[in-house]
Structure 1
């Protein structure tokens, strides 16, 4: 795969229609007339938003573009009746420069900084609390004095620099490094590798990334919360910013903004934290021995290889000789009956087990009713892999009895634990089942898959970043702020 040069890449982003579907690409006039921001957006029928490619703001997920601020951007474009054009080739400082020079707005987890020249900000979207994070094994820092003598990193332009300078007035010996061309995940990676001892990031950034960097711990809060806001050019009138403020007010009033915040930042407890650390360790130590097998099986059965790897970890922790008390064995923990059904002669052969598990999952998925679609279909197939297709159908029957949609995983997920209660399982064809287990099973696999996708994506971004920074020594990546004399 070839990579576009940065200047071309910047303007080769997909124009997203109201539904989020790609429409077309065309050149963009980078200098709309002063005072004509809203008129320019409506006349050209799209809005350009400068952003960053991060888990917090915007990235390509399994189902297409996603991310907290992407969801807001798309809804805002919808409210204006225009398409969405994303320019995501940025870090925080270049987002602000692009907004000043090109419009229309910047949405990139930007702090509301009233003294930024040439910019005007929307109302607050959500609070952003800075916190200290540090490498596991160090003496836990409790206050700013404990950071003296440590290698501390922050992101330039993220609003934290001003707080650090204020703290330096209290503790002149405080020193830190500022990077203008990194993201929060890169700071966490540098802490884990030992290049940094600590960093100051926003709490929601750490919550979003903590499972991917298990050797990084959270310390203490620093300063007062800042406000996330959108940035607009100050010389192009108030029409667009007034529309944005009205849009944000409506989202707050109808509860949709709180729902999005909870969806993206309120669920870092799917896995017990120590379990996540073990998983990350095995991703680096065990998975490389078997990833080619997962990829080959995925190619044959047309699955995402990372999904099969996530199932394999949930089943056996990638141990090809695993054996349960009930007699299921191997990487994908197949029963004798299932192994015979999918043509596996040796359950302890990892390649055979992985191939058999993939065939079994595909056979389950193909037996589900056609009315079950999308992710609902995948999650129900995973649940049936764990509890059996008969018990899954029983849970769907219970969902119907409760007046819920039996084709919805959300409804079936609520019904499955009822298979443990006689009031309900007595009404089913297959009787009692430990229905809570497939709920946890699917939840864990989804989280393992999310981590694997993040690792895969971050490795690609890491290599791309290394290529971009190959000619820049660390002294140019980080600007050192020394102690006060």
Structure 2
């Protein structure tokens, strides 16, 4: 009996010891002050923007790292074939790259709660093959990236459609294969709906043939030993998805994708080639003079006039920056139809509006509210701020 009690106390003591092995990955992250994350360079995840590194996944990961009190370090790989082995070896703490939470991945890794839903789409090109369903994929040039949820789904579909054939590319990403379809080097590929929505802005000839799947959850993946880490991620994500910060991120990266107008986008691309070069030097100089990003000024001008220096509205605003007569006089513009005067005058007016805003409004909200003032006038901005306060929200936050 005494021997048994000794063994019992020994077992309790062992169980009670602090965990410092592979199991306590979260503790190691906090000890070293670094969260190591593998991702890929893509418009939906991580990329170099005009103000530095950015991306939906990049911003979400950094928000979680701040919550833990550590810094995020990103390891960039080209495709899943290079990413997943890092999880297998435990060399990274998590993968954040728009990854679908499939049954196979749930069995192999620890997966977070879902933060976004996507649908797998068959994507082809205008003027090319346009399959109407899975049977229509038989006999066409179809390729998907290797080790992806697309390949996993096609493998399941092949049981019902044995003649279905496709190539699994070990090197190209989803975006790379979309480009090959656009270049007519492939008939079709498969891509998640969020990737298609963004890339059609660059390659408007891409078309959606049909939906290949039902909505599927995206999640972060973690190594099998990441029990405490996945619990921390899920607890944080539950609150983050309800926050203003998440709403702002969603609006920033996906707020514009609901409407796709092929004719309008083609016209925009044509004007970038034919009209913008005439005025780009003035946009850049005016932006430098008044501390704006030149693309900010050029975007306002395109929205106002489509870069047409002789544009005119029924309300009387005119020119490439569509200035009112009163505003033109205020900023020293003698001819609203002179594109150089109009661009510099518009930049000067934007700068005056920005300076009138309270110092409590920080970027990027300051740019958004300045833009709204340019469009509707500062008087409406003051009214909107009063109304925002009455509703119990923050008048310094554009999203409120």
Q: TM-score when scaled to structure 2?
A: 0.79
**Counterparts of 1:35 and 1:361 in 2: how far apart (Å)?**
55
User: 99, 103, 108: which one pairs with 2:97?
Assistant: 108
* Compared CA separation, residues 363 and 226, structure 1 to 2 (3 A): closer
Which residue is 1:210 aligned to?
A: 200
Which residue is 2:62 aligned to?
A: 74
Gaps of 5+ in 1: 1-31, 412-485
**Counterparts of 1:213 and 1:280 in 2: how far apart (Å)?**
10
Which residue is 2:122 aligned to?
A: 132
Contact 1:122/1:245 (<8 A) preserved:
no
Aligned residues: 376
* Compared CA separation, residues 178 and 328, structure 1 to 2 (3 A): same
Which residue is 1:243 aligned to?
A: 229
Using the TM superposition, give the Cα deviation of residue 269 of structure 1 relative to its aligned residue in structure 2, in angstroms. 2.6
User: 65, 76, 88: which one pairs with 1:88?
Assistant: 76
**Counterparts of 1:377 and 1:116 in 2: how far apart (Å)?**
42
Q: How does 1:139-218 map to 2 (within 5 A)?
A: 140-218=130-208
Larger mean CA deviation between 255-264 and 86-95 belongs to 255-264
* Compared CA separation, residues 78 and 340, structure 1 to 2 (3 A): closer
Q: TM-score when scaled to structure 1?
A: 0.67
Contact 1:187/1:199 (<8 A) preserved:
yes
What does the per-residue CA deviation read over 1:79-105, in whole Å, with 9 as the maximum and x for residues that have no partner?
Answer: 544322111244221111233342333
Q: How does 1:16-415 map to 2 (within 5 A)?
A: 37-61=25-49, 65-101=53-89, 102-112=91-101, 120-125=109-114, 126-138=116-128, 140-223=130-213, 227-234=217-224, 238=225, 240-249=226-235, 251-252=237-238, 255-256=241-242, 263=251, 264-265=253-254, 268-269=257-258, 274-400=263-389, 404-411=393-400
* Structure with larger Rg: 2
SS in 1 for 2:35: strand
Using the TM superposition, give the Cα deviation of residue 195 of structure 1 relative to its aligned residue in structure 2, in angstroms. 3.1
**Counterparts of 1:57 and 1:184 in 2: how far apart (Å)?**
12
**Counterparts of 2:220 and 2:68 in 1: how far apart (Å)?**
16
**Counterparts of 1:244 and 1:123 in 2: how far apart (Å)?**
6
Contact 1:122/1:241 (<8 A) preserved:
no
SS in 1 for 2:322: coil
SS in 2 for 1:329: coil
**Counterparts of 1:36 and 1:262 in 2: how far apart (Å)?**
32
Using the TM superposition, give the Cα deviation of residue 47 of structure 1 relative to its aligned residue in structure 2, in angstroms. 2.0
* Compared CA separation, residues 253 and 302, structure 1 to 2 (3 A): closer
Contact 1:105/1:231 (<8 A) preserved:
yes
SS in 2 for 1:353: helix
SS in 1 for 2:200: helix
SS in 1 for 2:201: helix
**Counterparts of 1:401 and 1:111 in 2: how far apart (Å)?**
42
Gaps of 5+ in 2: 1-19
